[in-house]
Structure 1
């Protein structure tokens, strides 16, 4: 029997038929936008289901004790991370096993996650349907067999929603060209840099990556080993994964990331612009293919929170959560992402 409400489907498997569980597990193909989540049994952690979602998305939280992922124990932080990865990786359909064991609060969290990502949600309810919670009671029932369930799993699901965030890109005016020209390491005319830093005089606003990319060729990305790229891709927090990936393929200083904005990443996530002090030198770097999903997740994380395009995208992990960023860098010794504590002080 199946219950459908909007993009939420509940498959009622009252007899706990192993067929349905096996079919759901076979449907797990993250690369095709379909994942199957297996809730951790008897977990009392408020963020446990969000962690299970992250695990299904291929993310691995650092082991305890003194884990650098301890801040994902916060329910809001964990679900925000799960939503960002879901949006960035194009998740279309999520199947949750043994949903009848979930607390009402967990079900509400799942429904909120679905609203954030636009993905289709299927809950495998392996007991009598009379125990359905109020949030799922406004549905119509119809009989469904194995063939219908397999057909449901084979559907690609809806196109994932994207957070509405129209880019505020500056026009390429004469002033913009002058500012973007600073991206080149060529010597500046005498007095140009000094003038931009004179007391009481504001520096010109720095153009975004798209405007800069029309004038300046992006520096090629530094290659790293596939094992290190995989280790970065497995990090659970989008901002940490994105920040460390930028350091890995640019070898820039961590301070360069402090002022990186949403508009400093091109819409196709092919280039990122970093910023120097006073915008005297703001290079444009090509983003390698392995890092694009990580920066897409970092940008999705930024857009799912109330931020403006000009706000620093990595600012949250460079201030209050800097110790977690440093700890993760220390767990990747082959990349040599040494992060002195001093540079993280605002």
Structure 2
């Protein structure tokens, strides 16, 4: 049994670690833009360094080692002008899933079990090794190709671990209660899911449906969570089994994103249009401009985005 003092110290570490994870996640979601801002890259380095230091002090070797990998990689980004591509982003995000999973597991009722931690670190080692090697090759300016023997559409070796980790994180967010921040974090986790297999159109399609369902704030978490988690688990199993042609949104998931038709009453067309507009999904837009842009791109189609842009231009004139 931990002493009260130990529990307090652990609580402080977890609170700070969550903030650092948010910083790293936000930087990695759009790493190409992050690379254009040296201060943001420095923030990523400091966040990884802080997690490493706190984990070392408390004796969480697995978290320390994983954060150290990130610190080394972010140091490369700090010191060199790396042209980020999809492969770099995928490798960083895969590694991030491991770091986040370790910290989420640490705050679970049973804590971070040594066996679980070791397995996670071992599974992540190839990812970090490949990332380090790839970054050095990019710095050298040598052309890159996919790893030998691995087709471009192949799933990463630890895909099952990634999927399980992300689904657990989504479930935890649903349990924490509804808020704008948690909905944005859920949408961010959907990005992680897409990166597991970014070329499978059926997989991407169902994740996009999930994103739209989460964005509709008129639906409570109690209504969304059981449907979303069930659909994602089923689709994940199909993805891992190579049966992507069978991936499709269930009827219950589709109901969450289909607007409720306006009530039929003898009214003028203008009134009907207003009723239809009222049933459009309600979207939580973050204050940070890049995150706001990503949310809009996920939720609205091209014609709707043009209409929004025109309205904003008129509003600020």
Instruction: Sort the TM-score into its range (normalised by shorter chain).
Output: under 0.3
Task: Give the number of the structure whose residues are more often strand, by fraction.
Answer: 1
TM-score calculated relative to the size of structure 1: 0.24
Higher RCO (CA-CA < 8 Å; seq separation 6+): 1
TM-score calculated relative to the size of structure 2: 0.25
Task: Give the number of the structure whose residues are more often helix, by fraction.
Answer: 2
